[in-house]
Amino acid sequence: MSSPTATAEGVDAAPGRSLGTIAVRLLLPALTFVVLVGLWWLATIVFGWPSYIVPTPLEVWQEMSDQRSILASSFRTTLWEALVGFGLAIAIAIPCAVAIAYSRLLELTVYPALVGLNAIPKIAIAPLLVIWMGFGAGPKVVMVVLICFFPIVISTATGLKSTPAEIAELSRSLSTSTLQDFLRFRFPWALPYVFVGLKVAIALAVIGAVVGEFVGATKGLGYVIVASGQNANTTLAFAAIVLLSLMSILLYYAVALLERVVVPWAEET
């Protein structure tokens, strides 16, 4: 730099700092991951566990590449169930939340019913779903919907009811129609709340799909885990579990990324 000035330095410093932040924000979680895998490996050596009890990370990695095709198709199956269920949950939950937020009557009638419904352990319903719907994707998708629905309804309804008084007055002072008020003020205001619910729900979606597969399935990562349990193929089960975690993490960050794009004004959580 031939002409280093205070201004130029100031300008340079900002992107440098943010780049550092991004690097740190990627590096630190990666470091945590490496340390955890290292501890796992160390434990298998120190305690001398045989691989049918706890396989080493390397064995799991090998199993993954050996069973590539079956794991990949299982991954796709479970991912599809989780995504379809998640999408359906959004499609049902948001209109419900709007109804609850706009109608005192529905809030008093439907809302307690939802709370009661949510109190039922969803896992307990899983076997019934198999009886009603068979072994296909249906009961898994329904399980995902049941699990994802509630956090989305609650957060969306909360968001819709949290419009600040002055914004509501501003809207009224401009004589907005109910639809204008909803589209221009209340719904955008609620969006950051909606995303809180979506982030909780997406983490539950994978769990829902796996629970559905545990009870009765012919494919999917949950099915792989159950089947490998029956064959004492612990390594394959571990491989499936690793893939499930990966799926959860990817889905969560996909929603978080979507949040950044859709509601850039929301505080980062």
Shortest spacing between CB 159 and another protein, in angstroms: 13
Shortest spacing between CB 120 and another protein, in angstroms: 37
CA distances for 91 relative to 81, 95, 141, angstroms:
15, 7, 13
Q: Which of 25, 68, 76, 172 binds another protein (CB under 8 A)?
A: 172
Stretch that binds another protein, among 74-82, 160-168, 231-239, 251-259 (CB under 8 A): 160-168
Q: Are 236 and 228 in contact (CB under 8 A)?
A: yes
Shortest spacing between CB 201 and another protein, in angstroms: 22
- When the beta carbons of 45 and 179 are compared against another protein, the nearer one is 179
87 lines the binding site for another protein (CB under 8 A): no
176 lines the binding site for another protein (CB under 8 A): yes
Q: Are 133 and 146 in contact (CB under 8 A)?
A: no
170 lines the binding site for another protein (CB under 8 A): yes
175 lines the binding site for another protein (CB under 8 A): yes
Shortest spacing between CB 12 and another protein, in angstroms: 21
CA distances for 59 relative to 51, 178, 258, angstroms:
8, 61, 36
Q: Which of 37, 54, 258, 263 binds another protein (CB under 8 A)?
A: 263
185 lines the binding site for another protein (CB under 8 A): yes
What secondary structure letter does DSSP report for 231?
A: T
Count of residues that bind another protein according to CB under 8 A: 19
Residue type at position 163: T
Shortest spacing between CB 256 and another protein, in angstroms: 18
Shortest spacing between CB 174 and another protein, in angstroms: 5
Tell me the Ramachandran region of residue 3: left when phi exceeds 0, alpha when psi lies from -120 to 50, beta otherwise.
beta
Q: What stretches of the chain show up as alpha helix (H) in DSSP?
A: 6-47, 57-66, 68-102, 104-119, 122-133, 138-160, 165-173, 178-181, 187-215, 221-230, 234-262
167 lines the binding site for another protein (CB under 8 A): yes
CA distances for 207 relative to 50, 98, 211, angstroms:
28, 27, 6
d(CA 52, CA 55): 6
95 lines the binding site for another protein (CB under 8 A): no
174 lines the binding site for another protein (CB under 8 A): yes
Residue type at position 141: V
269 lines the binding site for another protein (CB under 8 A): no
Q: Are 220 and 171 in contact (CB under 8 A)?
A: no
184 lines the binding site for another protein (CB under 8 A): yes
Q: Which of 180, 218, 231, 245 binds another protein (CB under 8 A)?
A: 180
Chain residues binding another protein by CB under 8 A are: 164, 166-167, 169-170, 172-176, 180, 184-185, 188-189, 191, 263-265
